[in-house]
Amino acid sequence: MHTDLEAGAPGLVVVVMSRNDASWAQGRIPRALHLPTARIAELAPSLIDRSLTVVTYCWGPGCNGATRAALAFARLGYQVKEMLGGFEYWVREGFTYATDAGVEQRPLDDLTAPRSGISCDC
């Protein structure tokens, strides 16, 4: 997903769901939308064009919020993908992320990506 976002792939929307306001403030993927799962059916039709592909993510692999959000979008007729690993792995793979204080980046965690920083090409 990082590659698609950086390349400006057409028709892609990122949605954060199931996370509370404090978690949103702590960190999110740049340009993401904060749309909790409980409000998807109510708000998505007025916020997100149905021709776009929605990518859902949540805190990390131990959370099923992204799965529940993906189901909510699919029930509304959206094309949807789930970002495996969630925000945790986005950060651990060394990608920049937004917080209420600004943009941050942590060093690459070599347990989640090659030390060289080059894609695992899997």
State how far the Cα of 19 lies from the Cα of 3, in Å rounded to an integer. Answer: 24
The pTM for the full model equals 0.85
User: How far, CA to CA in Å, does 91 sit from each of 12, 29, 34, 52?
Assistant: 20, 9, 18, 25
Burial class of residue 58 in the structure, from the number of CB atoms within 10 Å of its CB (0-12 exposed, 13-18 middle, 19+ buried): buried
Residue 109 lies in a domain: no
> What is the domain extent for residue 71?
2-104
Interval 12-63: pLDDT, tens: 777 777 677 888 889 999 989 999 899 999 999 999 999 999 999 998 888 8
Q: What is the pLDDT of residues 69-81, one digit of tens each?
A: 999 999 999 999 9
- The span from the CA of 110 to the CA of 92, in Å, is 8
Residue 82: predicted pLDDT: 93
Count of structural domains, the chain:
1
Instruction: Identify whether 33 is part of a domain.
Output: yes
Domain at 18, CATH number: 3.40.250.10
